[in-house]
Every structure is written in structure tokens, then in C-alpha cells.
Amino acid sequence: MTAQSPKVVVITPVKNEAWILDRFLATTSQFADHIIIADQNSSDGSQEIYKRYPKVILIRNESTEFNEAERQTLLLNTARQLVPEPRILLALDADEILSANVLTSLAWKTALNATPGTVLCFEKLDLYGNTYKCVRSDIQGTFGYVDDGAEHIPKIIHSIRVPEPDYAKRLYLNEIKILHYTYTRLNAQTAKHRLYSVIENTLERSNVFARRLRYFSADRYLQQQKLEDSYPEWFQDWEVLGIDMHTIVAQKYYSYDFEVLRYFQKYGVNHFYSENIWDFNWEACRLYAQSIDCEGIPATPIKSPAKFQQQMLSQLTNLYNHARTLYKSP
């Protein structure tokens, strides 16, 4: 008797990702049996895009808060309820697309035959500025799990996405890459960093200097990295299917910016004066959000902190970083 092939279940949280959804769903539909989307109150037309893809199972994440643990638990529980074993859980964000060679890769065939309790690891590379250049880390992270029902222990922010029990075997899928599109829109990634800084402030999970070092302009990211050419084979088989892999549409303001405005409304602008987010014109953003009837934003003008205050914080952050570097030195 032939063993039953596992169902590939992609689990994806979405909040206002219409800019990339067609590309993500068109490619993912080629190798996944089911794509479970937990949509968190999207208002950018995402709902209409889902309807074009039969493999999408849409569930609602009604929360108004940022909570990776909550949404991962929702996605994982839904996958286990709807899709019987054997199954492979593959946790991808909407801006993460598997390279086109997944369709022919021996590594993928190996993954499909892996024993339950196996963690699937991929190299995630950042497409930078456009799709023709990238930054590679050569680090293979956990994105998939050949499910055996193991408990998942997530965190509110920066959480591992799938179960990773101590006994799990690790399978490194070297041939297949995760193409991360977020850095193709540098201003959007900078906006995301501002939001993460604000979120971590409210969660009190790090000190202000650590946040100022961690979350910076996406333009500075390249100063620490090496830029390489992308490989055509990462895209070719998708393009043969008629999928547009290269068009990038940028915006002036993003949903991340509007989320920060909502945090300003909830906690007060002064609460975030120490964050490294004030090289951005929040008042202009507020006025734009107001013009499109964005809900939950401040009704009064936003005043930036004094420049000397920001300069002092920058100097203290540099001292903090220097002291941390000395502490880590052998």
C-alpha cells in the first residue's frame, strides 16, 4: 500500500498587502494544496483578490492589536482542523515568494517525503530596490514543519512561525529560496520599521537605545550588506506561467504609517518622542489620512519633538552601541 502524500498547507497572515497578493497567490497556488489566509481587517481591496484563487481559505482575524502569537495560533489551529494529516505547514508572509525552481527541485520532493516532526529550513534573501538585485544572508530559517501535532509556543513579536520541538529533525532546502519583496519598496520597509519601534515601545520588550539601533531607514540596511545579482531561474518558471514577477508599485504613505497614527491617538504623541521615527512628516501624513477618512487617527496637529532632544538621543544611542560592542569584545 502506497503512503499517502502530504497536503501542503500555506498559512499566511495578511493586513493590507494588496500590492503583492496577486503575485503571492498565483505562485503559491502552483505548489500548495490549501492557502489559509488570516486577514486582519484589510481595507485595501485584498478581499477581492482572494476571490480569484480557489485554493484560498479565508478566515478573519478581528483583532485590532499587533500580536504574532495570536494570529499564528489562529492559523495553525485552523490548518489542523480543516486539513487531516499527513500535512506540511508552510508559514509564509504575503511578501515572501518561493523561487520558481520549487516546481522541479529535488529538495522539494525530499520535503514531501520527510517524516513528521521535520522542520523545513530555507534561505530567505532580500530583493533590494528592485527584483534584479538582492542581499543574501546564507542563513536558513525555519518556515515549514512536517506536522505531527507538536505544540507551538509563539511570541507576540518576532516569533518563530511553526512548531520547532527539541526532537525535530532539520531539513535544509538549499536549492529553494524565499524571495523577500519587502525591500523592493524601501520607503515601505522604513515605514514598517517605524511601526515596529512603536509597537515594541508599547510592549516594553526592549530599551529605547536597542530600538533605535534595530529600527532604522531601509537605505542604511545596504551599508551593512553586500549587494548581489538575482538569479534569473528564481523567476523564470513563474514568468512562463504568465506571472508578473518584477513590477513594483510604491506609495507615498502606507498602512504602517496609519497604524502609527492610531498608536499616537491611543497613547499620545509624547509617549513616542524617544523613538527614531521623527525624520518623517507625521503631520502631513495625518492630514492625508484625514482626507481619506482614515479612522482612529489624531484629530489635532502632530508636533515633532525638539531637534536637540533627538540629537541628544542619537548621541546616547551611539554611546550605548559603543559600550555594547566593548562588552562583547573578547
State the Cα angle at 6 between 40 and 60, rounded to 5°: 10
Considering the entire predicted model, what is its pTM?
A: 0.87
In this structure, what are the phi and psi dihedrals at residue 177, rounded to the nearest 5 degrees? -110, 150
* Domain finish residue from 163, 183, 203: 183
Judgement on whether residues 276 and 308 belong to the same structural domain of the protein: yes
DSSP 55-88: TEEEEE----S--HHHHHHHHHHHHHHHSPSSEE
Asked whether residue 233 is domain-assigned, the answer is no
Three-state secondary structure readout of 86-111: CEEEEECCCCEEECHHHHCCHHHHHH
CATH number of the domain residue 56 falls in: 3.90.550.10
Judgement on whether residues 171 and 62 belong to the same structural domain of the protein: yes
| Domain region containing 305 | 189-225+250-328
Is residue 215 within a helix (H) or strand (E), and if so which, with residue range? none
Judgement on whether residues 176 and 203 belong to the same structural domain of the protein: no
Judgement on whether residues 42 and 147 belong to the same structural domain of the protein: yes
Tell me how crowded residue 232 is: count the other CB atoms within 10 A of its CB.
Answer: 10
Q: What is the pLDDT along the chain (330 residues), one digit of tens a residue?
A: 346 899 999 999 999 999 999 999 999 999 999 999 999 999 899 999 999 999 999 999 988 888 899 999 999 999 999 999 999 999 999 999 999 999 999 999 999 999 999 999 999 999 999 999 999 987 899 999 999 999 999 999 889 999 999 999 999 999 999 999 999 999 999 999 999 999 999 998 789 998 988 887 766 666 667 899 999 999 999 999 999 999 998 899 999 999 999 999 999 999 999 999 999 999 999 999 999 999 999 999 999 999 888 889 889 988 887 787 776 655
Asked whether residue 174 is domain-assigned, the answer is yes
Asked whether residue 236 is domain-assigned, the answer is no
Judgement on whether residues 105 and 212 belong to the same structural domain of the protein: no
Judgement on whether residues 173 and 36 belong to the same structural domain of the protein: yes
Asked whether residue 299 is domain-assigned, the answer is yes
Asked whether residue 294 is domain-assigned, the answer is yes
Residue of 2, 182, 159, 3 lying closest to 91 (CA atoms) = 159
Beta carbons of 105 and 171 less than 8 angstroms apart:
no
Q: How many domains does the chain have?
A: 2
Beta carbons of 97 and 28 less than 8 angstroms apart:
yes
